[in-house]
């Protein structure tokens, strides 16, 4: 079994967001290229800063909290996950184990979006550290948002997910959007409906996309209150100008 343990050391000198960092890598097998490592590091730092900024009052996530195990053979990846009692769904290149706090990645050379899937799953890892019972729309919406990161040497850009923005138009045309209902869905319902043109992921992504387009502080306020037990519906009513009803109107107008 070829695996690489990647421990990343990280020292935070300034909790306001200006950070000095040092890293240490142990990657003798060279499964990730140098560029991929750099992109993954940047994604980790960016997402940590994002979640720490939302929840600055409690223990900050440190990059040393992150343990990544990488496989370059699918069979090894599946075996490892099986030892942890997890069934691997076909094609999923990454898994996360809350108990051991391991992120397990299979580098599928055939998937051009391999790193983007990593960014997606990293978001689940971080949100779980901050919100024990996050609403599925929030969890998946943020993960899909981070999946759209395009990381270069100098910048991180969020690419528009055009396929999602195309499909949401169809959902709207079919009058198949009910945000008030959607944000109450449990994971099982979310997964069930996602078999329809990726419904759950697309609507969740578009909600996050619109909230961040409007004003980042709305989402920040909602997440803080939702961690303290506020429902998704109440969080929209409390933080979105005009409440949930206005958000639904804005959503339809924006994506139509």
**What string marks each residue from 114 to 153 as x (binds other proteins by CB under 8 A) or -?**
----------------------------------------
Helix (H) or strand (E) holding 88: none
List C-alpha distances in Å: 217 to 21, 196, 212, 223: 27, 32, 8, 10
Q: How many CB atoms lie within 10 A of CB 202?
A: 24
160 contacts other proteins (rule: CB under 8 A) = no
Q: How many CB atoms lie within 10 A of CB 210?
A: 18
158 contacts other proteins (rule: CB under 8 A) = no
166 contacts other proteins (rule: CB under 8 A) = yes
Q: Which long-range contacts (CB under 8 A, 24 or more apart) does 184-190 make?
A: 184/231, 184/232, 184/233, 185/136, 185/137, 186/136, 187/136, 190/136, 190/137, 190/140
Q: Which is nearer to other proteins, 101 or 186 (CB)?
A: 186
Among 1, 18, 20, 174, binds other proteins (CB under 8 A): 174
Q: Is 102 helix (H, G, I), strand (E, B) or coil?
A: strand
State the minimum distance, in angstroms, from the CB of residue 186 to other proteins: 12
52 contacts other proteins (rule: CB under 8 A) = no
18 contacts other proteins (rule: CB under 8 A) = no
169 contacts other proteins (rule: CB under 8 A) = yes
Q: Which of residues 189-208 bind other proteins (CB under 8 A)?
A: 192-193, 195-197, 199
Among 27, 65, 176, 237, binds other proteins (CB under 8 A): 176
**Residue 179 to residue 160: CA distance in whole angstroms:** 21
184 contacts other proteins (rule: CB under 8 A) = no
DSSP string of 30-66?
Answer: --S-HHHHHHHHHHHHHHHHHHHHHSTTSPPP-GGG-
Among 15, 163, 180, 245, binds other proteins (CB under 8 A): 163
Which residues sit at the interface with other proteins, rule CB under 8 A? 162-163, 166-167, 169-170, 173-176, 192-193, 195-197, 199
């Amino acid at each position: 079994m070829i695996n690489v343990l990647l421990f990343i050391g990280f020292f935070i000198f300034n909790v306001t967001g200006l950070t000095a960092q040092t890293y240490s890598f142990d990657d003798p097998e060279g499964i990730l290229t140098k560029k991929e490592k750099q992109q993954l590091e940047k994604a980790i730092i960016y997402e940590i800063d994002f979640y720490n900024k939302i929840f600055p009052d409690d223990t900050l996530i440190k990059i040393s909290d992150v343990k990544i195990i990488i496989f370059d053979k699918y069979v090894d990846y599946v075996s490892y996950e099986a030892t942890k009692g997890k069934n691997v769904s076909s094609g999923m290149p990454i898994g996360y184990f809350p108990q051991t706090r391991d992120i397990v990645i299979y580098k599928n050379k055939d998937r051009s979006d391999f790193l983007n899937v990593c960014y997606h799953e990293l978001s689940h890892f971080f949100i779980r550290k901050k919100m024990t019972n996050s609403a599925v729309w929030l969890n998946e919406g943020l993960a899909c948002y981070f999946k759209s990161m395009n990381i270069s040497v100098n910048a991180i850009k969020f690419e528009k997910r055009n396929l999602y923005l195309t499909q949401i138009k169809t959902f709207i045309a079919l009058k198949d959007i009910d945000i008030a209902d959607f944000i109450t869905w449990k994971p099982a319902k979310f997964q069930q409906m996602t078999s329809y043109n990726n419904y759950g992921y697309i609507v969740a992504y578009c909600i996050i996309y619109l909230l961040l387009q409007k004003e980042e502080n709305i989402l920040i306020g909602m997440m803080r209150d939702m961690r303290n037990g506020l429902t998704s519906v109440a969080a929209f009513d409390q933080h979105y100008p005009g409440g949930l009803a206005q958000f639904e109107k804005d959503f339809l107008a924006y994506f139509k």
